[in-house]
Amino acid sequence: MKDKPYIVGVAGGSGSGKTFFLNCFLNHFSPEEVCLISQDDYYFRVGANMTKEENKLHNFDLPTCFDIQKFESDIDKLMNFETVYMEEYTFNNDNLTPKILENKPAPILIIEGLFIYHFENIKPLFDYKIFIDAQTEVALERRLNRDLIERGYSEEDILYKWHNHVMPSYEQYLLPHRSSCDIVIDNSVNEISNILNVTDTISNNIRARLRIVK
């Protein structure tokens, strides 16, 4: 086994379509070939006991909202081919029971999340950096559809967070890293073929680099 996994970063703003991209990308590899670790699972467990108004005003879109020490520690373990465990983050949804996630080391390590290129100790680790982009109005529409249906937020709360938390944080902590990424993927158009073609190209390039036979 190599000295360390090949590390791929996948970042993008809220509503950019990171989850859909990752699902398509992971389909190109077997579970033994790739490990995915998500920044979202390292949220500090706050918010469950908040009132709706407190939840609305609390900014969950800051780097300080994450247990960065554990995030870095688990990434270090995976780089040394150790298995890591963490509790799934359920976005303060009382109707969901968190699962204990088992992340096994693999030749390819995918790190995804909003601030992965901002964290100083993680930023230098990437062999390949991906930035998922989308037009602001498209991203907002996706956010509205997701949070109204999946998380039960009101439209007023979603729009408040979007304008006061989501966009300012995106512009300060993520957008400055866009130009340093290896590839920027425009995911504004909801056409599956676009993402399938891109993930096919990227996965083939990684396979060739690591000499993984399909």
Write out pLDDT tens, residues 82-138.
999 988 777 666 666 778 889 999 999 999 999 999 999 999 999 999 999 999 999
CA quadruple 110, 113, 118, 120: dihedral sign = negative
Closest CA to 110 of 122, 96, 98, 95: 122
Number of Cβ within 10 Å of residue 57's Cβ equals 14
User: Is 132 in the same domain as 210?
Assistant: yes
User: Is 81 in the same domain as 145?
Assistant: no
User: Is 164 in the same domain as 212?
Assistant: yes
Pair type for strands 100-103 and 6-12? unpaired
User: Is 210 in the same domain as 127?
Assistant: yes
Is 12 part of a structural domain of the chain?
no
User: Is 69 in the same domain as 97?
Assistant: yes
Q: According to the model, what pLDDT value does residue 2 have? A: 59
Q: According to the model, what pLDDT value does residue 95 have? A: 67
Task: Using the predicted structure, report yes or no on whether residue 1 has a pLDDT greater than 60.
Answer: no
Count Cβ atoms within 10 A of the Cβ of residue 28 and give its class: 0-12 exposed, 13-18 middle, 19 or more buried: middle
User: Is 129 in the same domain as 102?
Assistant: no
User: Is 84 in the same domain as 150?
Assistant: no
Closest CA to 141 of 14, 12, 40: 14
Question: Structure pTM?
Answer: 0.89
DSSP three-state, residue 103: strand
User: Is 75 in the same domain as 138?
Assistant: no
Give tens-digit pLDDT for 195-210.
999 999 999 999 998 8
Q: Which residues pair with 9 in a beta bridge?
A: 111, 129
Structural domains of the chain, count: 2
Enter the tokens of residue 56: 């609305």
User: Is 159 in the same domain as 186?
Assistant: yes
**Bigger pLDDT: 57 or 152?**
57
Is 22 part of a structural domain of the chain?
no
Q: Tell me the backbone φ, ψ of residue 114, rounded to 5 degrees.
A: -70, -40
Q: Which of 45-49, 57-61, 139-143, 174-178 has the lowest mean pLDDT?
A: 45-49
164 lies in which domain range? 123-173+182-214
User: Is 138 in the same domain as 209?
Assistant: yes
Enter the tokens of residue 191: 């056409």
User: Is 40 in the same domain as 70?
Assistant: yes
CB of 66 within 8 A of CB of 22?
no
How many whole angstroms separate alpha carbon 107 and alpha carbon 142?
A: 33
